[in-house]
Amino acid sequence: MAQKLKVTLVRSPIDRTQKQKATVRGLGLRRLHSSAVLEDTNAIRGMIRKVQHLVAVEPAD
């Protein structure tokens, strides 16, 4: 079974570039403090890296 990551939006994407806003939406995050449990893949890791200043990441159980 693949490892999962819990990604939480901790800062607002307001006044960010359109690409960053789209990346946040692509991660399944809509509101501040919303969380999504995602598979730990290279694509997801790349998306997290692009918005690392907006999100908090922790391993999911």
pLDDT in tens, 3-59: 999 999 999 999 999 999 999 999 999 999 999 999 999 999 999 999 999 999 999
Assign 2 a pLDDT band (cuts: 50, 70, 90).
low
AA letter at 36:
A
Domains of the chain: 4-59 (3.30.1390.20)
Burial 51-61 (b: 16+ CB within 10 A, else e): beebbebeeee
Q: Are 7 and 25 in contact (CB under 8 A)?
A: no
Q: How confident is the model at residue 61, as a pLDDT? A: 81
